[in-house]
Every structure is written in C-alpha cells, then in structure tokens.
Amino acid sequence: MAVAILSALFGGTRIALPSIGSIGVSTGIPYRQELPLLSAVFLTAVLGGAMAAHEEAGAPRVHRVRAVCLAVLTVATCVFSFVTESLAVGPGAGLVYVRSTLIWLGLALVSVRLFGHQLGWAVPLASALPLTWFSQEWWDWTANPAEDFFSWTLAALSLSLGSAAIAATRWRMYTFRSARGAWPAPVA
C-alpha cells in the first residue's frame, strides 16, 4: 500500500538520468514507471522467513497455503494500486502499473528460486536497467499503453514462469526425476 500511495503522490517526479553522448544534458523517467518493481519484490517476502527452507519440504497443503497467501496479496496489491493510480492519473496508468507489477512479480519469483529469498530483487532489478536506459521502445512494458497486447502477453508469460519456478521445489523435482529413473534423494 505504501508503494502505491508513494506512486500516486510522487510518481510524476522524474528520475534524473545522464544522457549518453550529450554532455550536460540529462533525461529522466517518472518514478511511476519503476515503483511497481518494489511492489513485486515486497510480495515475494511472503515466501521468505526463518522457516522458508523447511516449508519447501512441507506437505502439499503448506504449498497451497503459501500459494493462496501470495495470490491474495497479489490481487489486493493490484486492486489497491489500480485504484490509487486511477485516482492520481487515470485508469490507463492504473492498468500499466498493475501490468508492470505482474511482470516484475514473475521475475522476482524466478529470482527467489535461482538466488534465494534474500535476493528476490536481483532479476527484476537487472530487467529494470535496460528499461531505464532504453525506454520508449516497443518492449518497454512500463511506458507502453494499457491496451498493448505484447506487454500483457509478457505479463502472462512472466507470471507463468515465476509460478513454475516456485512450484519446482527440490522435493518435487526429485519426485519428477525419480518417476523417470533412479535418482538419489536430495540432501536436506
């Protein structure tokens, strides 16, 4: 909620960036385009904690509870962000904010799987750098209009990839591999 309110209040303020190749010229992008990254990374905190490694080895019910908790928080974040951005700028900006949050959430889930819960920000931040320096391109989901089909497709792909990455726990991968042949059990 704090990030959405921050975006509504100060989202139009531009982040000053030096221009490449022009001395003394600076450009900028609005904070509004980069703040959904924070919302997405904060959502992955649900998957972390002192018992996160033990929870991964838990029963299917534990995984369902974690998935439902993440889904409920994601929907609540998207609804609140859409409402605040719609009131501050317009419904189109609200949809772009939600789309950006969903894309970065998928990337953050991949980052959690690859690097651990403490580094859920690594892959989203790596994706933000090209968006910042090469903005206004066809692939820039933070600046494309709300009805851009490619950006919504990217959101669906990102969420699918992130969901698959989180679902691929060591024990599920062991079960999958053992069904295909003899693999030793993973060491806890």
Q: Tokens 């726990």 correspond to what residue?
A: 169
User: What pLDDT score was predicted for residue 110?
Assistant: 94
d(CA 94, CA 135): 19
Q: Tokens 């819960």 correspond to what residue?
A: 117
d(CA 12, CA 139): 21
5 HSE (CA, 13 A, CB side): 2
The pair of three-digit structure tokens given for residue 79, joined into one six-digit string = 């609804």
User: What pLDDT score was predicted for residue 129?
Assistant: 80
User: What pLDDT score was predicted for residue 157?
Assistant: 96
Sign for the CA dihedral angle at 95, 101, 102, 107 comes to positive
d(CA 181, CA 15): 53
The pair of three-digit structure tokens given for residue 85, joined into one six-digit string = 């951005």
What is residue 29's three-state secondary structure? strand
- For every one of its 188 residues, what pLDDT tens digit does the chain have, with 9 covering 90 and above? 777 777 777 776 676 665 565 555 556 677 777 888 888 888 888 877 666 666 666 677 777 888 898 999 999 999 998 998 888 888 998 899 899 999 999 999 999 989 988 888 999 989 888 777 766 677 788 888 889 899 999 999 999 999 998 887 766 676 666 776 655 555 65
d(CA 183, CA 177): 7
What is residue 140's three-state secondary structure? coil
The pair of three-digit structure tokens given for residue 59, joined into one six-digit string = 């029963």
User: What pLDDT score was predicted for residue 3?
Assistant: 77
